[in-house]
Amino acid sequence: MKWLNNKDKHDLVNSLDQLRIEKLVAMGAQLSSSRQEKGLSLDEMVVLTRIPRRLLQAIEEGNLQELPEPVYIQGLIRQFADALGFNGAEFAGDFPVGNTNRVSLKSGWKTTSVGELRPFHLYLLYILMIFCSVGGLSQLLNANALQTANNNQNISKQNQQTVIPSQKFQSVSNMTSNLNNPQQVQIGLTLTEKSWIQVLVDGKLEYEGELPEGTHRIWKAQEQLTVRTDNAGGVLVSINKEKAKQLGEPGKQKEVTIAANTRS
C-alpha cells in the first residue's frame, strides 16, 4: 500500500494549521486578559519577558502568520505565561507543535531496523532538543534575575546611610485616583533601569532600596501613596491599573504623591 496521496497530505496539514490557529487565539486571549487585569502594558511585558513587542502582540491576537515555527511559538507562550504567574510549561503544552496524526504503514513496507532512524524520527528528536533548550534558557534567565535582585537588596541595606534625603527631590506632583473603590489607591512600578525607590503607604515607610531592571511591584493604600526615585526615566508608573507612563526624565530625582478619591 502507498502513503496518503498529495490531496490527503494537504488536508492533513491544513487541519493541523487550523488547530494551531484556534489554540493560539484562545491562549492569546487568556494571556491578554490576565495582563490587563494585572495593569501591565505590552511594553512592560517586553521588559519582563525580553520578547519583542510584535511577537507578544501576535500571540495575544492569535496571528500565526507573524510568528516563527510552532516549536518556537510554544517556547514564547511559555515565557509569556511564566511572567504572568501561570505554570508556563503546562500552559504552553496545549499548543500543538508536531503532527499528532501519525500515518500507519501497511504490510509490504520495510520495517525499521534497530538503530535506524527515519526522517520523521529525526524531526521529532530535533523538536525535543529545541524545546529542552528553550526551557533550560528560560530557567537560567529567571535564576540570574532572582540572584541579581537578592544581591541588590543586600547592597541597599548595607548602604542605607547614603540614601538621598527627600528634601532634594523635585516638587511633589499630586494626583487623584479614579478607582471605583473610594477607599483605596493602587500604584504599579516597572523598572526599565536599575533605580533607587522609596514608597510611603498612608504616610508610613513601606519600602526603601535599590531595585534591578525588570522589577515589577504593586502597592495599595487607603488614603495616599508617595513614590520617590533617583532615576525617574527608569521607572514606569501605572496608577489604578491604567496605562503605565514614564515617571520623569532619565537620571532625574522625582517624588510623586497619589491620593485616593474621597468623594462619595
Encode pLDDT of 191-244 as tens digits: 899 999 999 999 999 999 999 998 989 999 988 889 999 999 989 998 988 888
Residue ranges of domains in the chain: 6-99+123-148, 166-259
DSSP string, 185-215: EEEEEEESS-EEEEEEETTEEEEEEEE-TT-
6-99+123-148 in CATH: which number? 1.10.260.40
Rounded CA separation 50/75 (Å):
13
pLDDT value of position 183: 65
pTM of the model: 0.38
Place of cell 513614590: 227
What does the pLDDT average to over 79-104?
81
Q: Are the C-beta atoms of residues 80 and 45 closer than 8 Å to each other?
A: yes
List the single range of 40-54, 111-125, 144-158, 203-217 with lowest mean pLDDT: 111-125
Residues in a beta bridge with 227: 199, 256
